[in-house]
Chain A
Amino acid sequence: MVRAIKGTLVECDPSIKAIILDIDSKTHDIINLDESHLIIKDSKVAELKRILEERLNEHTKVDSLEEEEEEEDD
């Protein structure tokens, strides 16, 4: 029998998916579909986006610092 589940489809690179799975490792809200797709609850989307953004920004901060230094040189 066919089953239907309400949720939000997330499409992303495998690398991003690894981070998402890591974030989810405590709660296990995610249905894993394949290497670039997964389903999460509609209510969790905003939270996931926020945490993901935070994690990614940890790596990009370096860039923005460089940028400011460059501006001081002007």
Chain B
Amino acid sequence: MSAQTMKGFEQLEGLPEAVFKRLYQQPATALAIFRRMLPNLAKTFVMAMLFNPDPVPISNLEHWVHPDKNSLKEEAFAKLRQLYLVTEKQGTFALDPTFKNELRKALTGGGLPGSFGLPCDTDDKNKVDVAFLDKYATEQWESILHFMVGNEIPSFKRPSEGVVRLLLHGKLMEQSRMSSDPVITQVGFSFLLQEANSQVWTLLLLYLDMAEQVKEMNTNLWKLDLIIIICASQLRMDPVDILHFLFLLGSLELGQDYDMKNLTPTQKGMLEDLRDYGVVYQRKVCNAFEFLTRWISLITLKSSSRRFYPTRLATALTSEIRSIRSPAASLQNATSQGDGNGFLIIETNYRLYAYTSSPLQIAVLNIFAKLISRFPNLVTARITRDSIRQAISKGITAEQIIDYMTVNAHPQLRKNSPVLPPTVVDQIRLWQIEGERMKTTPGYLFKEFSTTSEFNAVCRYANDLGVLVWADHNKGNLFVSKHEQIADYIRKRAHAGR
């Protein structure tokens, strides 16, 4: 499911050049982008250029790549260009000077103290431990999930207005005509089945999106109303500041308290919201001094402690793509859904027994199984073709369903290997394929090449770029998902031929 997270990052890749240039001004962000957004080969290229004062000839970099792996090379180059990390001049690559500087600082130390978060120098009187943070993060996060499936449970409080607005903005929920409370949408359902880290990223990127939109319209609204001031945590937010802070959070240490005096006003405002999501923990205090500063800055709305603790949700943000699973899994272990507490039993006859009374879990089950009967601590359900097809039509994949069932399998079921009955797993996959009788790819068909050699060259080039979808060598047809670079290439060849 890291694919989902990657989708989030693709959204970031569309940012304009100026934004990237400003993003690179912080060592924590430079490091996070290096760690998280670059493929391994691109990292190697960056490292080759990092401590080199002169631009590096592209041919030198190409020497490092096996001739068979041209597609990897093109992917790495494309990514470097896309993120505006390199400038190309007369066949040489030069690393963006700001990025170069900041990444050097990040790797070798140096730069301003506190560029990776400023730990508090005094002891917290009310120090909290990791277990508390885990509990806090889980409670906050689950209260959002519970709210999405429409459960009002006394033990979970309703998420704040900010969270509700965010869910509405992201179309995870929509206002219904029937009741005053919003109801979950199909997008919301598939969100529920994602693993925690992707969920966090999805929400944070939505947050970024919303902050940008509010920024556009805020200028006139500013003085209108006190309510606007209450929303001020969303007003006057700079997307670059937000991203800096998100990337910074990813490099903080769990269990350590950080001082917020280094943060910009935007980031201080963000802390309010992040606290609601359970991404950071901040103790609320109220004193006269804070009351005054509140009127001066208009940013710190609810008075709060000057220290904040990142939770596991925050520290997992920019971990390596492959290790996403582990921090999320450790969070799950900390919650009631851990290994020892699985609640699902699936039999080979497609019957499903869920030892749970949690409305959230039952609501999630209802997404892909047909519920039959409910007892105080047990729900029985059945997986049918219709229930799976319905889930798939909502954009949920068979893998998501299987993952969910595996993660939540009852200890009794866990003794088996494989955990889930293979017949059921295979059948769920088959039901998915059934709906995919045809695969569609939008793009461009190129045909009527004048010579075979031209066709072959274009074909190879498209393959290296990774845009080739299909080619018929006999008839000389090829289909690509993007045409701009291909068209350029054909034009260049035509020029060279003349």
**Interface residues, chain A, with chain B CB atoms under 8 Å away:** 1-13, 16, 20, 31, 33-34, 37, 39, 42, 45, 49, 52-53, 56, 60, 63-64, 67, 71
Q: Tell me, rounded to whole Å, the shortest Cβ–Cβ distance linking B163 to chain A.
A: 34
B472 touches A34 (CB 8 A): yes
Q: Tell me, rounded to whole Å, the shortest Cβ–Cβ distance linking B498 to chain A.
A: 14
| Residues on A with beta carbons closer than 8 Å to the beta carbon of B439 | 10-12
Q: Nearest A residue to B351 by beta-carbon distance? A: A74
**Interface residues, chain B, with chain A CB atoms under 8 Å away:** 382, 384-386, 435, 437-450, 454, 458, 469-470, 472, 475, 477, 479, 483, 487, 490
* Distance of A11 Cα from B317 Cα, bound (Å): 37
Q: Which of B384, B437, B470, B483 has a CB less than 8 Å from the CB of A4?
A: B483
Q: Tell me, rounded to whole Å, the shortest Cβ–Cβ distance linking A51 to chain B.
A: 12
A9 touches B437 (CB 8 A): no
Q: Given A31-B445, A71-B382, are A37 and B437 neighbors across the interface (CB < 8 Å)?
A: no
Q: Which of B445, B450, B472 has a CB less than 8 Å from the CB of A1?
A: B450
Q: Nearest A residue to B441 by beta-carbon distance? A: A9
* Distance of A10 Cα from B472 Cα, bound (Å): 14
Q: Which of B385, B438, B479 has a CB less than 8 Å from the CB of A16?
A: B438
Q: Which of A1, A9, A13 has a CB less than 8 Å from the CB of B470?
A: A9
Q: Which of B386, B435, B447, B479 has a CB less than 8 Å from the CB of A2?
A: B447
Q: Given A2-B449, A34-B472, are A52 and B438 neighbors across the interface (CB < 8 Å)?
A: yes
Q: Tell me, rounded to whole Å, the shortest Cβ–Cβ distance linking A31 to chain B.
A: 7
Q: Tell me, rounded to whole Å, the shortest Cβ–Cβ distance linking A28 to chain B.
A: 17
Q: Tell me, rounded to whole Å, the shortest Cβ–Cβ distance linking A27 to chain B.
A: 17
Q: Which of A1, A10, A64 has a CB less than 8 Å from the CB of B385?
A: A64
* Distance of A63 Cα from B385 Cα, bound (Å): 9
Q: Which of A4, A5, A52 has a CB less than 8 Å from the CB of B487?
A: A4
28 contacts between A and B (CB under 8 A): A1-B450, A2-B446, A2-B447, A2-B450, A2-B458, A2-B490, A6-B443, A7-B443, A7-B445, A9-B440, A9-B442, A9-B469, A9-B479, A10-B438, A10-B439, A10-B440, A11-B470, A16-B437, A31-B445, A33-B475, A33-B477, A34-B472, A37-B472, A45-B442, A49-B438, A60-B385, A63-B385, A67-B386
Q: Tell me, rounded to whole Å, the shortest Cβ–Cβ distance linking B482 to chain A.
A: 11
Q: Given A13-B437, A20-B438, A33-B472, are A8 and B448 neighbors across the interface (CB < 8 Å)?
A: no
Q: Which of B435, B437, B439, B447 has the most CB of A within 10 A?
A: B437
| Residues on A with beta carbons closer than 8 Å to the beta carbon of B487 | 4
Q: Which of A42, A60, A63, A67 has a CB less than 8 Å from the CB of B442?
A: A42
| Residues on B with beta carbons closer than 8 Å to the beta carbon of A56 | 437
| Residues on A with beta carbons closer than 8 Å to the beta carbon of B435 | 53
| Residues on A with beta carbons closer than 8 Å to the beta carbon of B447 | 2-3, 5
| Residues on B with beta carbons closer than 8 Å to the beta carbon of A4 | 444-446, 483, 487
Q: Given A2-B448, A64-B386, A71-B382, are A11 and B438 neighbors across the interface (CB < 8 Å)?
A: yes
| Residues on A with beta carbons closer than 8 Å to the beta carbon of B475 | 33-34
| Residues on A with beta carbons closer than 8 Å to the beta carbon of B442 | 7-9, 42, 45
| Residues on B with beta carbons closer than 8 Å to the beta carbon of A31 | 445
| Residues on B with beta carbons closer than 8 Å to the beta carbon of A6 | 443-444
4 closest A-B pairs by beta carbon, nearest first, are A12-B438, A11-B439, A5-B445, A16-B437
* Distance of A10 Cα from B477 Cα, bound (Å): 14
Q: Nearest B residue to A38 by beta-carbon distance? A: B438
A67 touches B490 (CB 8 A): no
* Distance of A9 Cα from B385 Cα, bound (Å): 28
* Distance of A60 Cα from B385 Cα, bound (Å): 10
17 further A-B contacts with Cβ under 8 Å, apart from A16-B438, A63-B385, are A1-B448, A2-B447, A2-B454, A6-B443, A7-B445, A8-B442, A9-B445, A11-B438, A11-B440, A11-B441, A11-B470, A12-B438, A33-B475, A33-B477, A37-B470, A60-B385, A64-B386
| Residues on A with beta carbons closer than 8 Å to the beta carbon of B441 | 8-9, 11
| Residues on B with beta carbons closer than 8 Å to the beta carbon of A39 | 445, 479
* Distance of A49 Cα from B438 Cα, bound (Å): 8
Q: Given A1-B450, A67-B385, are A9 and B443 neighbors across the interface (CB < 8 Å)?
A: yes
* Distance of A52 Cα from B382 Cα, bound (Å): 28
| Residues on B with beta carbons closer than 8 Å to the beta carbon of A9 | 440-443, 445, 469-470, 479
Q: Nearest A residue to B438 by beta-carbon distance? A: A12
* Distance of A56 Cα from B389 Cα, bound (Å): 13
Q: Tell me, rounded to whole Å, the shortest Cβ–Cβ distance linking A38 to chain B.
A: 9
Q: Tell me, rounded to whole Å, the shortest Cβ–Cβ distance linking B382 to chain A.
A: 7
